[in-house]
Amino acid sequence: MPAVVSIVVSENIKKIPKKILTPTARKKLKNIAANNGNIEIGGGSGFIVDKKGVVITSKHIVADPDADYTIITNDGKKHKAEIIHISSHNDIAVLKITNYKPQTTKFQAIKLGNSDKIQLGENILAFGSPLGNFPNTVSEGIVSGLHRKIKAETDLKPGKDTLKEMIQTDAAINPGNSGGPLINAKGEVIGINTVAVADAENISLAIPINSVKEILKNL
């Protein structure tokens, strides 16, 4: 749990195009915005994979290039973050906590497993912050299927990307869970929670963690 984080997406009111907000709506937003004019517009989950503050999450969470991203760690502390990698063909993003200080800051990193060794029916846990209001949430399930393929919107560009080799699970994945880790019985990450299938019960999908390993190696 100490390696699981919440990601808050915020944008300054001044950056929101005038054509999509009426003067009344803009005034209401100003009343609830922070002192710097930022307002929360979304969020999700992630997990720390390096003690220097490297965080894995889903690309669709950080799709807005004009937004600011804040990482909230398990102890409730807030950290500014920047995007250091966006996958061009998968729903994967890598963030880096920018105020990391090796003398005073220590982050708990999580161990990555081998998603090629996942077996149908094995027990798993999904971690995250569903709806942004329930941090440190754990849901339990099993691996229900392997090698699934779906089409999903992963960024702000028109059209959908094809996500392949997905892990299917019956663990509850709700809005805000995206980007959180899917964990095996050894406490290793085997997937990134990505999406729950609409109009279905207990069908959730995760990206295999081996897709991330090559990205991290290159970074």
**Alpha carbon 43 to its chain's center:** 8
Amino acid type, 189:
V
Give me the catalytic one of 91, 155, 161, 170: 91
What are φ and ψ of residue 167, in 5° steps? -90, 125
188 is written with which tokens? 């290793």
DSSP state of 118: -
Distance CA 39, CA 161 (A): 29
Q: Is 60 a catalytic residue?
A: yes
Q: Which of 45, 144, 178, 211 is catalytic?
A: 178
Element (H, E) at 93: strand 93-97
Q: Could you say which of 10, 45, 58, 60 is catalytic? A: 60
Residues 6 or more apart whose CB falls under 8 angstroms from that of 133 comprise: 176
Q: DSSP label at 173?
A: -
155 as an active site residue: the answer is no
89 given a catalytic annotation? no
Catalytic residues: 60, 91, 178
